[in-house]
Every structure is written in C-alpha cells, then in structure tokens.
Structure 1
Amino acid sequence: MSHIINDEASKGGDYFMETLLVSLLPYIIGSAVVPLQIIIGLLFLKSDKQGLFKAVAYFTGMTLTRLLQGLIFGLILTEAAASAEASGDKNLVISTLLLILGILLLIAAYKKWCGQDDPDEPPPKWLTTIDSSTPLKAFGIGVGLPLIAPKLWVFTLSALATIAAVQLGQASSAIVYLLFILLAQSLLLLPILIRIFLPQKSQSLLNQISNWLTKNNRSIVIFVSLVFGLLFLKSGISGLLSITNK
C-alpha cells in the first residue's frame, strides 16, 4: 500500500493527490464504519428536543480530538518519515503501523466472535446517561471516544503516517488530513444533515437505522475487523519484506 504512494510521488499534481486519497481509503472506511460511534450519535439525535445540539456537540468533540491528534502526531510522524527516507527505510513506519493495525483488528474480531467485550466500547455509564446528558457532556463524550478506542487510534495514526511519508508540505498535508477527518466521520455527519433537512421524516428513519445497527453490531464488528485485519496484515508484512529484501 505504501509503495504505491512512493511510486507516484514524482508525478505530482491532481493525479498524485487522488492516489494518496485512494491509499487512505481503507483507513477512512475502517474509521467510518465502527458501529458504536454511529449508534451513540443516533442516540443523541433521538434523545430529546436538544438532540440535534447534542449530536453536533458530539461530532465537534470527535473532530477536535482528531485535529489535536493530527497536530501532535503529524509532526512526529513527519520527522520519522524524513529520518526514514534519509536511511532508505521510508516505508518502515507505515508498514509497521499496518502490521499492528492488522493484528489489533484480528484480535478484536476473535474477541467479538467469542462474546468478549470490545475494547473500543466506551464505559457503560456513557450510554445510560445519553438521554439526560447536556450538549457539553455530549461534547466531552465526543472528545473522549477517539482517545479510548484502540482501533480508532491506529486508523488515525496510519493515515497520518501515510500522509507524512509523501512529504507534501504542511498546507497540502493539512488539507488531506482534514479530508480524512470529514470522510471518516461522514456516517456521523449524515444523520445530522438528515435531521436538519428532513425533520419530519428523520425520526422514523433514524430509529430504523439505530435499531438495525444495535441488532447487528456484533456481526458488523466481526466482519469489518476480519476483512480489514487481513488486508492490513498482508500489506504490513509485504511492506516489511520489501524493506528487508532491498
């Protein structure tokens, strides 16, 4: 996955940017389809007359956390990518993160299949207080969720490492990362937009989506974790082998 980006690095322009976004697509999809974060957003929307404000606050909190992660770890990974390029191991960081992510996802799939708790699930008290929570508390949950979810951490770090590896410059890297955040949270934003533009029809539709996600949460987590776990494991191993064979 990382070697595709580097092969295209010399081409520049819009085509190169599109290639980078395609390379980020697995991380975008993996981040976006985590069922529980969507369920929490839907519960906020349905909670009461302040539901829309709570959902927006929750979305804003998650966005803020990811922006801070990008600011802090983007700089660190950019330095690491520059050092790796100087030593001839530019793909080492990305391949290692892919390997770790693959292992984490496969472990998560196994644990969910065995009926064990998902480490990405927030404390139960978060879910029980959604109806009575304020927009400020919803904002706090949004801030905290990406910090306690291991898979979301690695999805974000892998995306940052992929962006850092191509050394686009601060402005272009920031734009790409903002696109990553927007697309990774698109399934949180979509119900908010439905509630705003279709207020009469949204309640029934959002109830159906929420009930379906709640009912199929276990199956979705197993499927997503297994598919992406195998994909990232293969990409990580291939990348590390390509480095050792140089």
Structure 2
Amino acid sequence: MMGGLLWTMIPLVLGNILVPSQVGMTLLLLLRQRDGTSAAIALISGIVSMRVLQGLVFGLIFTGVSATIGHKSSDPVVSAFLIGLGLLLYAAATKVLLTNEDPDAPPPKWMTMAQSMSPRLAYGVGAALPLIGAKFWVFTLSAVAAIRNADLGYIAGSLAFVLYAVLSCALLIFIVGLRVAGTPWSLRALEGIAAWLKRHNKLIAVVLGAFFGTWFLGNGLAGLM
C-alpha cells in the first residue's frame, strides 16, 4: 500500500515543483532589492497553507463519497476522473504550444506587482496561486485521492498530505535558501535560474502537460481494465 502511494505521490510532487509560474514569481520577489526574501517566504507559506486547506476540505468530501458508495464501487469513478485529468493536461499543453499562453500562469498584473508587493500581500497571492491553475487542482485532488485510497488513517493521512504540500514547494524553498546564503555563487545561480526559466518557459509547460497527461491517462485506463 505504501509503495503504491509513493509511486503516485512522487510524480505529483515533481509536477508541482516544476510548474514555471510559481517559480517565476518567487524569483521575481527574491531578485528585488527590498523585502524580497520576506515576501518570497510569505508567498511559499501562502501556497502551503492553501494546499493544506484544500487537502482538509477535499479529504472530508472524498471520505463522505467513499462512505456513501463504497470503496470498490468508486474505483471506476476514480479511473474516469484520472482520464479526465489527463485530457485536461493534454488540452493545456496544446494551448501553450499553439498560442504561447499558459492557462495556469498568474495574471500579468500579479507578476508586475511582485516588484513591490508586501509580505502580507505576497501571502495572499501565494494562497491564490493553487486556486487559479488547472494543473495545481489536478495534482492536489490526485494527492488527496491517493492518500485516501491508501487507508492510512486520519492522523497519518493528514501528516502525509502536509508533507506533500511542503515537498511540492521544495524548489521554491531551495531558491529562497540560495538568496539567504547571499554568496556571490548563490546570487549568480538565482539569476541563472531566472534567465533559464524565461527562455524555456513554453517548453517546460508543454513537456509537463504531455508527460503528466500521459501518466494520468494511462493510470485511468489501467484502472478500467
């Protein structure tokens, strides 16, 4: 059971880590001259807080559904859900490829505001980020379902989801660590990451959509066989 949970959770964590929008906003905060580190920490705190809240709310909903229709009979529903998610990610990747617009990117105004937003506002923006992108909903709901199906119990399941929420921000925490270190190497690394992300933003979004779209679709179809 735990092996199956890890097999499911690792791609979900990696998917969250690699979504360009939240990395880009964190870098914008860190590279500014004033209160950048505090604002970036507040942004990450907002992201983690909202994911934990989503886990609590949807964990309770999934528990209620399971109690109503039974775990075994819900398997086709879960499979259909995974197939739908896979198709959604394919659609998002296609849109990026054809229009160069990432449907999960935050509004441009938010990116402009990153140059001056206070830590309090950054926390609010961080809490909003998991709500505006389809990919974030896909990963969060899939993590909730995977932990629910693992039957870990309320406390262990809750801790597992909190761990998922924190690990999903591992790259953001790492780049904040680079900024806190303040060494010439770490600052150059931050600037290099920002430049690389700007150059390859479209490619990352397309690869993520195609990879995880295939992963969800394959798992969903396998569950129906």
TM-score by length of 2: 0.94
Matched residue pairs, number? 225
User: Deviations 1:8-60 (Å, cap 9, x if unpaired)?
Assistant: 3xxxxxxx3x4422221121111111011101111111112311001000000
Alignment match of 2:5 (pick from 14, 20, 33): 20
Give yes or no for the alignment of 1:225 onto 2:209.
yes
Q: Tell me what 1:62 maps to.
A: 47
Deviation of the 1:199 alpha carbon: 4.0
Partner Cα separation in structure 2 for residue 199 and residue 133 of structure 1: 25
Displaced runs of 4+ in structure 1, greater than 6 A? none
Counterpart code for 1:206: L
Q: Tell me what 2:194 maps to.
A: 210
What is the alpha-carbon root mean square deviation over aligned residues?
1.6
Partner Cα separation in structure 2 for residue 56 and residue 150 of structure 1: 24
State, as a whole percentage, how many aligned pairs show the same letter. Answer: 37
Aligned partners of 1:98 and 1:235 also within 8 Å: yes
CA 1:93–1:200 in 2, change beyond 3 Å: closer, same or farther? farther
Partner Cα separation in structure 2 for residue 95 and residue 181 of structure 1: 23
Partner Cα separation in structure 1 for residue 56 and residue 207 of structure 2: 32
Q: Tell me what 2:26 maps to.
A: 41
Counterpart code for 2:219: S
Partner Cα separation in structure 2 for residue 38 and residue 61 of structure 1: 14
Deviation of the 1:119 alpha carbon: 1.5
Moved more, 213-222 or 94-103: 94-103
Aligned partners of 1:95 and 1:237 also within 8 Å: yes
Counterpart code for 1:128: T
Give yes or no for the alignment of 1:156 onto 2:140.
yes
Q: Tell me what 1:111 maps to.
A: 95
Deviation of the 1:167 alpha carbon: 2.1
- 1:4-153 matches, cutoff 5 A: 8=1, 16=2, 18-85=3-70, 88-153=72-137
Q: Secondary structure at the match of 1:102?
A: helix
Aligned partners of 2:96 and 2:103 also within 8 Å: no
CA 1:25–1:128 in 2, change beyond 3 Å: closer, same or farther? same
Gap regions ≥5 residues in structure 1: 1-7, 9-15
Deviation of the 1:198 alpha carbon: 4.4
Gap regions ≥5 residues in structure 2: none
TM-score by length of 1: 0.86
Partner Cα separation in structure 1 for residue 169 and residue 69 of structure 2: 31
Partner Cα separation in structure 2 for residue 177 and residue 92 of structure 1: 24
